[in-house]
Amino acid sequence: MKQYILYNPLAGNGNAKEAAEKLADASASQAVLRPVTEISDYAAFLSVLTSEDTLIICGGDGTLNRFVNDTAALEIPCEVLYLAVGSGNDFLRDLGKTPDETPVCITKYIQNLPEAEVKGKTYRFLNNVGYGIDGYCCEVGDELKAKSVKAINYTSIAIKGLLFHYKPKNAVITVDGKEYRFKKVWLAPTMKGRFYGGGMMATPEQDRTSPDGKLSLLVFHGSGRLHTLMVFPSIFKGEHVKHTKMVTVLAGYDVKVTFDAPAAVQIDGETITDVSEYRAVSKSSVQVSSDK
């Protein structure tokens, strides 16, 4: 029996390696440490694992996103645990856990994940696929990371975007075949969980463990910059949904969002630029269609 610990050396401002080493030192079984950046063939890596082993992912939401996509077509023979050392940790927050706890078993949470279709490619996602000022923040954050090693203040980016830089788009949104039209859309994320963006409770009623597998779409729309900025902080407590004139939440299995001008999309914090539309599909919708 072995404990395989995969860590992202870039996660948590470089603290993931130290956290992984502490796990290895405390392990009662033989521990094998590997940086995820060195694994180019997950099929080969997983082929040596057995059902008695344990696989621990040490990183943030972005690390988990890459892992579930890199292993999408593969069978993982053992339990998968997660130690959160990221900057946002929204996946862990949605499970009701905190980063200072021991590794959490996530095997059941990384199965039958929804998929996002963007620019002809398909990606699995754990938390959300987001379109709007969240994508803008990730895009600006990536640009700042390329220039400096300083921690990125996404809240500051969002506030400046709301006040000056980000231009809201008009959107055509289709949920399970029903079309909706919105003007001046600031946010349009489709959610698997409740949280994203480092603690924003975008869809308070969403349940990632719900048997029906439905996704929730938040549309923040129709208001000017100052009014949006005044209401926006309430999203951290999920109280923004009370503002029904500017916040709409839709639920369904198949979601398509089309903007009238290209913008950045983020998938669990990973950025894709110059996107005109995205589609998010629950695995349950595939099952429903096949049962008909």
Chain segment 155-166, per-residue pLDDT in tens: 888 889 999 999
User: What pLDDT is stored for residue 268 in this prediction?
Assistant: 94
pLDDT exceeds cutoff 70 at 230: yes
Structure token digits, residue 125: 């996602």
- Cα–Cα distance between 157 and 139 in angstroms, integer? 10
State residue 292's pLDDT score.
45
- Please state the rounded mean pLDDT for residues 240-258: 97
Once rounded to an integer, what is the mean pLDDT over residues 258-268?
Answer: 95
Q: What is the mean pLDDT of the chain?
A: 92
Give me the residue label for tokens 């969240």: 134
pLDDT in tens, 99-140: 877 899 999 999 999 999 999 999 999 999 999 999 999 999
Q: Which of 11-15, 95-99, 169-173, 232-236 is the least confident region? A: 11-15
- What is the tens place of the pLDDT at every residue in 58-84? 999 999 999 999 999 999 999 999 999
Q: What is the mean pLDDT of residues 40-64?
A: 95
Percent of the chain clearing pLDDT 70 (strictly above)? 97
Three-class HEC string of the chain: CEEEEEECCCHHHHCHHHHHHHHHHHCCCEEEEEEHHHCCCHHHHHCCCCCCCEEEEEECHHHHHHHHHHCCCCCCCCEEEEEECCCCCHHHHHCCCCCCCCCEECHHHHCCCCEEEECCEEEECCCEEEEEHHHHHHHHHHHHHHHCCCCCCHHHHHHHHHHHHCCCEEEEEEECCEEEEEEEEEECCEECCCEECCCEECCCCCCCCCCCCCEEEEEEECCCHHHHHHHHHHHHCCHHHHCCCCEEEEEECEEEEEEEEEEEEEECCEEEEEEEEEEEECHHHHHHHHHC
Sorted by where each starts, the structural domains of the chain and their CATH numbers stand as 2-110 (3.40.50.10330), 115-291 (2.60.200.40)
Contact 177, 185 (CB under 8 A): no
What average pLDDT score do residues 275-291 get? 75
What pLDDT score was predicted for residue 285?
54
